[in-house]
Amino acid sequence: MTLGKNLLARTIYGVALFAVLGACSLAEANDRCQPPKTGTNDVPIFSPPVSQIIKGKGKVQFYSAPNAHCPMKGVFAAPKDEVLTSAQTSDGWSSVTYNDPKTGTNVSGWVQTGRLKEPAKGGPKL
């Protein structure tokens, strides 16, 4: 009988420990997925926002914060899509707004700066 009680106590302890660690992990994930305050030395804003084009191959994932652990499920932009960049971090993230031309939906989030480029300048070549 003592063996059964000991096993039950270990099981309860294991479940409680798992729940606490899971809650801590979830809280940590939520903290790191909070977007930073823009308009600071660390995340300067662009005024007015800068028009940029998605470059490279494949869709660009949007994130809720400048952190690879914070993807926005199902939110992407395709190469050659245009975004408005309003802020940029020093470690390679840009805060952008994208207007999906097919649906008319606007979405704001963070993308990796390396996937952005300024559009070609128009006008005659001299």
Region 45-117: CATH code? 2.30.30.40
Least confident interval from 17-21, 66-70, 73-77, 108-112: 17-21
- Taking the whole predicted model, whether its pTM rises above 0.75 is answered as no
pLDDT score, position 126: 54
The structure tokens 């097919």 sit at 102
Instruction: Provide the residue ranges of all domains of the chain, joining segments of one domain with +.
Output: 45-117
Q: What percentage of the chain exceeds 90 in pLDDT? A: 52
| CA–CA distance, 22 with 123 (Å, rounded to integer) | 57
